[in-house]
Structure 1
Amino acid sequence: LNQAKRMPGYLQIMDENRRMIHRVYFEKSEMRRFWSLWEYVQSWSSTQIYVNGRELRKWEVYPYSPYLR
């Protein structure tokens, strides 16, 4: 979480169920930072990833994935 908080584009919000959401926006040119953060959070059960508003399943997230385009 500390690593995510230091990244530009980090945002902490609360959803309608009063759960804290930690959101980090990434541009395509910043994928190296994305992969370093993904290494930490991919095993967490509460991790969700969205690309252009569409939620991806964890198995769809890998280098050169067509789902990340």
Structure 2
Amino acid sequence: MSDQENKKFNIYDLNNLWIEYDKQNDSLYIYFAPENVEAEESFLIGDDVIVAVKDDSLISITIMNFSKRIGVELC
């Protein structure tokens, strides 16, 4: 395994947790930072899951094809 695969990240700020679902793109966004915080890097992990980081802290997780993954059609 590469160093990137073994890297651990802290959550940026759990007090700023907010979740948003985008029906048009069938994506679930989980944010741990205010909207004005921009990622330095993004990594595709697994199938259709993207994590965004800044200063070794996790700022967001994006789950694409969310309704298909959970087997439920969302309104």
The normalised TM-score by structure 1 is 0.31
Choose between structure 1 and 2: higher helix proportion: 1
**Please, what TM-score do these two structures have when normalized by structure 2?**
0.30
- Please identify the structure whose Cα radius of gyration is greater: 2
More strand by share: 2
Higher relative contact order (CA closer than 8 Å, sequence separation 6+)? 2
